[in-house]
Structure 1
């Protein structure tokens, strides 16, 4: 399989974590996503992934899978052990709920393409874009922390083992700390983050810092 990614991408980090947990090897093809002429906006890459996003996985059969959650669930079905979703029905739903909250309610508002669009609006400064990003990350993480306080029972998002929700949570909390956000205001999230950071599959595949 071939995986198109960029190391700073938290979405790509999610897939790299899943691959590490599953011990699956793929061919990695880096794609630049920053700057005035990033590779992900060029026609060559758009022919591979019309959305112009990373990650994108090309399967052994030549099929294309986009969106990190879809890729992770494909990998989980392709190689069922170890599983990336809990056995319990409600725990599986909780893990997916947290994953989708991060992908749809936090990450969707703060990727580079949103920042590029905001920077074209009259009077919007870099500092205001940074404030925008911090606002949505903090609001989203606070909501997830409250959700877990009422549902979570175990050391991870949905029980005794790291699952899909943790795979999406960890890159987001790593980037939150890099924004200067103190995770200790959400003790439950901070605890999960610390436990995940002790696991090589997570720590070694965190999103790279932007230079």
Structure 2
């Protein structure tokens, strides 16, 4: 059984899927598509991913797109360890935290939006970066409150879907020099997650070195 992941080392959505695959212990082949070089917009990638995005996961004869949908598939395909709890309240909290990152913070800060701000709207580098930090900060203020009392991870004693989403967003926050001092719980949880091999091996630094 061959699993192929079409991704870009610094793509947050791809980063999530790499973490998920590692947590499930699934071996996979990684194919890098440079977003900076426009490889994701070429015909072969559009054929597998009509949005022209990464990641796409080829698995079980399927071409799976959208990181949270891919993670949901992996969770059904490999039940252990689970990404979400079967308890309805716990499941709802996990999804709320994950979606806060994946739906409220990330989409308005991804590369195509930043390019549009700078290219089409003429925003300066400083204005673009301020935009980025503003939306991450706003989301993290809420997430910090939601994370209080979580335990070692957002998922408690074991990482869950929210943790999978958190680590790539923390990586991006640091890339854009966001002051993380107001978010001690998120910083603590991120540090604990980075100690896990599944998260560390998925990091952009490790992936770029192995490409």
Structure 2 length as normaliser, TM-score?
0.91
User: Following TM superposition, by how much is the alpha carbon of 1:174 offset from its aligned partner in structure 2, in angstroms?
Assistant: 1.6
Q: How many residues align?
A: 205
| Distance (Å, rounded) in 1 between the aligned partners of 2:70 and 2:144 | 25
Deviations 1:43-76 (A, max 9, x none): 2211111111111112222x22111111011011
| Distance (Å, rounded) in 2 between the aligned partners of 1:56 and 1:190 | 29
| Distance (Å, rounded) in 1 between the aligned partners of 2:155 and 2:6 | 29
User: Following TM superposition, by how much is the alpha carbon of 1:208 offset from its aligned partner in structure 2, in angstroms?
Assistant: 4.0
Residue in 2 that maps onto 1:56: 56
User: Following TM superposition, by how much is the alpha carbon of 1:122 offset from its aligned partner in structure 2, in angstroms?
Assistant: 4.4
Residue in 1 that maps onto 2:99: 100
Kindly report the root-mean-square deviation, in angstroms, between the aligned alpha carbons of the 2 structures: 1.7
Deviations 1:28-57 (A, max 9, x none): 11111114xx11112221111111111111
| Distance (Å, rounded) in 2 between the aligned partners of 1:206 and 1:182 | 21
Residue in 2 that maps onto 1:116: 115
Deviations 1:99-152 (A, max 9, x none): 111111111011111111112234411221111111111111111112223xx4
**Runs of 4+ displaced beyond 4 Å:** none
Residue in 1 that maps onto 2:176: 179
Name the CA shift for 1:70/1:122 in 2 (closer, same or farther; >3 Å): closer
Secondary structure of 2:204 counterpart: coil
Q: Mind listing any 5+ residue stretches in structure 2 that lack a counterpart?
A: none
Name the CA shift for 1:41/1:160 in 2 (closer, same or farther; >3 Å): same
